[in-house]
Chains A and B, each alone.
Chain A
Amino acid sequence: EIVMTQSPATLSVSPGERATLSCRASQSVSSNLAWYQQKPGQAPRLLIYDASTRASDIPARFSGSGSGTAFTLTISSLQSEDFAVYYCQHYNNWPPMYTFGQGTKLEIK
């Protein structure tokens, strides 16, 4: 079983600054890695898939990188609407596997 571990659990950053969130897999997941944003009381929203491809209508300030076991989500200049919880997810069509990390809460400093 692949385990996805995110760090830190909570990240405090000021608006306008850069935020860097990490996700590590217990074994290689190639580039089968997605990032989601979830705001309180809302459903998650897909930000990044294939480790570095932005989903439709996602602003360019969101970028993903990495492959294998180490991945990063970077938000280049934080806007007020970016403060939320972020989840990484490993996916595999067969055998079916959709494993989420425990989340990183991005809060206003």
Chain B
Amino acid sequence: EVQLVESGGDLVQPGGSLRLSCAASGFTFSSHWMHWVRQAPGKGLIWVARVDSDGSSTSYADSVKGRFTISRDSANSTLYLQMNSLRAEDTAVYYCARDGTGTTPTIDFWGQGTLVTVSS
């Protein structure tokens, strides 16, 4: 069974930092691109970042470029999102998501999410 379990969400002050983690199981983690997608309270889905299978290539939404860093540890099947210079508008549930990579051409499985609140 595919499982993605996020952790690390918290209340943080504007300008602060936070690192999210996502523990993956039930599939060959090193074979899949991985994503972070966020959803502000009561709002829609916004793609944040993507990392390829071996971590050598990353891509970001313009709104987080230069502030967020996506990375992965394939030995431990874990995905990360380092978030710096946080702003109020970064408040959202952050979902870890698996790319279908070779099977389906987009995100095919999502974790349950972790809430990040940026407020003073």
Contacts and interface: CB of A to CB of B under 8 A. Distances in A.
A89 B106 contact: yes
Contacts of A44: 45, 95, 110
Interface residues of B, number: 20
B107 A32 contact: no
B28 to A, nearest CB: 16
Main secondary structure of the interface of B (DSSP, over half): strand
A100 B47 contact: yes
A98 B110 contact: no
A71 interface: no
A87 interface: yes
B109 A46 contact: yes
Contacts of B59: 95-96
Contacts of A102: 44
A26 B57 CA distance: 28
B107 A46 contact: yes
Nearest to B37: A98
A62 to B, nearest CB: 15
Nearest to B113: A43
A91 B100 CA distance: 12
A53 B109 CA distance: 16
Given A43-B95, A43-B113, A98 B44 contact: no
B114 to A, nearest CB: 11
A99 interface: yes
Given A43-B113, A46-B107, A100-B45, 10 more contacts: A32-B105, A34-B106, A34-B107, A38-B45, A43-B95, A49-B104, A49-B108, A87-B44, A98-B106, A98-B107
Interface of B: 35, 37, 44-47, 50, 59, 95, 100, 104-113
Interface of A: 32, 34, 36, 38, 42-46, 49-50, 55, 87, 89, 91, 93, 95-96, 98-103
